[in-house]
Amino acid sequence: MRIGIVCYPTFGGSGVVATELGKALALMGHKVHFITYSQPARLDMFSENLFYHEVYIPSYPLFQYPPYELALASKMVDIVRFEKLDVLHVHYAIPHASAAFMAKQILRTKGINIPVITTLHGTDITLVGKDASFEPVVTFSINQSDGVTAVSDSLRAETYDYFQIEKDIEVIPNFINLDKFKRQKKEHFRLAIAPNNEKLLVHTSNFRGVKRVEDVIRIFAKVREKVSSKLLMVGDGPDRPKMEKLCRELQICQDVRFLGKLEAVEEVLSIADLFLMPSEKESFGLAALEAMACEVPVISSNAGGIPELNINGETGFVSPVGAVDDMVENALYILDDAHLPQFKANALSRARDFDIEKIVPLYEKLYQKTINEQ
Ligand code: GMT
């Protein structure tokens, strides 16, 4: 198949899923065309089956808000026609699904019928999408898509709750490349960070409000009182300065390292004992799956789709959002050497359920179905 993928090119989960999906499809022999405003962060390989088309927005003094959606729709029209695409798969509803709808209508006037698949990722539904400023457009463009997928049962249910959706939404969970995300021998790194065999806790996110990064710091501060440990904070975002300040106030800076955005997160996860995800909202929790694939158990909230991934009492523990003391108690239980090895093994075993090789064929099947229905 000739597949067009539209996504955000950033480190964010939806961009990562879209890029890894495209790479996997290319390896399977499909021609995959990425259409984005810059090179996707994880598009780090060369393949004769991978193509990248940049969306260019001309500037003009009149444009206080550059019309990205129009430039994107025009680019989709151009690429579908020139590259003879069979299907367009857009990740994250805003504004990709509505831009795809416009492209589809334009292409129809030229005698081309291109099926559009929209994958809902989370905040496009639970946060931004349901805002009155976007809701009518999001509802319309989801209903106009030829196929709609959500990354968890929870996100599917929330989409039906918030919007008047007439379409079937298929759940296709996120996936993991177990060749890339696996525990690697990084003893020198562990020794440098934790020279006295301290336990290592890790958090990765975009440091936005929904991630409740403050809970991460407070959980760690309490765990550290009982178990000699260090915290590694991966990623960057608006709440980072506040968190650095909080570490100073709690006088724990010597045990917390802010590593910023990292390409090879799996290297940090390879030396970790526990992953913290206390999010307010989380449709799936891809960062937790990446940790589990590296044999790291997870202390999480029960937000959104996380409990579908992190099995309470097996791969980690799930607590109500904001229940810091409960998360501390659970963290201490897992970090006990009598329990840790079993939790690590369970985390890996659960991650295998989301092996990319099991999940990508579900998208292939959906593409074929929508193409056949045109
Ligand atoms: O978590 C974020 O803020 C980034 C966001 C995104 O759209 O890139 O992630 C969402 O999509 C990921 C991939 O499907 C999911 O694993 C995340 O749980 C989801 N985030 C939220 O729902 C907050």
CA of 206 to the centre of ligand 1 (A): 10
Residues 136, 163: contact at Cβ < 8 Å? no
Q: How far apart (Å, rounded) are the C-alpha atoms in residues 254 and 105?
A: 58
Atom of ligand 1 nearest to the CA of 284: 18
Kindly report the three-state secondary structure assignment for every residue of 57-95.
CCCCCCCCCCCHHHHHHHHHHHHHHHHCCCEEEEECHHH
CA of 325 to the centre of ligand 1 (A): 25
Residues 231, 220: contact at Cβ < 8 Å? yes
Atom of ligand 1 nearest to the CA of 155: 22
Can you tell me the ipTM of this complex? 0.96
Q: What is the pLDDT of residue 12?
A: 83
| Average pLDDT of the chain, as a whole number | 96
Mean pLDDT, range 167-186, rounded to an integer: 96
Atom of ligand 1 nearest to the CA of 304: 22
Looking at the predicted structure, is the pLDDT value of residue 11 above 80? no
Q: What is the pLDDT of residue 10?
A: 84
Q: What is the pLDDT of residue 46?
A: 84
Question: Of the ranges 5-14, 239-248, 330-339, 361-370, which one carries the lowest mean pLDDT score?
Answer: 5-14
Domains of the chain, CATH where assigned: 2-175+355-373 (3.40.50.2000), 187-354 (3.40.50.2000)
User: Which is it for strands 298-301 and 316-319: parallel, antiparallel or unpaired?
Assistant: parallel
Residue 210 Cβ inside 6 Å of ligand 1? The answer reads yes
Q: How far apart (Å, rounded) are the C-alpha atoms in residues 157 and 321?
A: 19
Residue 121 Cβ inside 6 Å of ligand 1? The answer reads yes
Q: How confident is the model at residue 124 (pLDDT cuts 50, 70, 90)?
A: confident
Residues 144, 177: contact at Cβ < 8 Å? no
Residue 174 Cβ inside 6 Å of ligand 1? The answer reads yes
Q: How confident is the model at residue 299 (pLDDT cuts 50, 70, 90)?
A: very high
Q: What is the pLDDT of residue 59?
A: 87
CA of 42 to the centre of ligand 1 (A): 16
CA of 235 to the centre of ligand 1 (A): 14
Mean pLDDT, range 278-303, rounded to an integer: 98
Q: Which residue puts its alpha carbon closest to atom 7 of ligand 1?
A: 14
Structure tokens at 318: 């799930």
Looking at the predicted structure, is the pLDDT value of residue 343 above 80? yes
Helix boundaries (H) for the chain: 13-27, 68-83, 93-108, 123-126, 135-144, 153-162, 187-193, 213-226, 240-250, 265-269, 286-293, 306-309, 324-335, 340-351, 356-373
Q: What is the pLDDT of residue 258?
A: 97
Residues 43, 50: contact at Cβ < 8 Å? yes
Residue 150 Cβ inside 6 Å of ligand 1? The answer reads no
Helix or strand or coil: residue 48? coil
Q: What is the pLDDT of residue 312?
A: 98
Q: What is the pLDDT of residue 52?
A: 96
Share of the chain above pLDDT 90, in %: 91
50-107: pLDDT as tens digits: 999 999 998 888 988 999 999 999 999 999 999 999 999 999 999 999 999 999 999 9
Residue 12 Cβ inside 6 Å of ligand 1? The answer reads yes
Q: How confident is the model at residue 263 (pLDDT cuts 50, 70, 90)?
A: confident
Question: Of the ranges 9-23, 70-84, 162-176, 201-215, which one carries the lowest mean pLDDT score?
Answer: 9-23
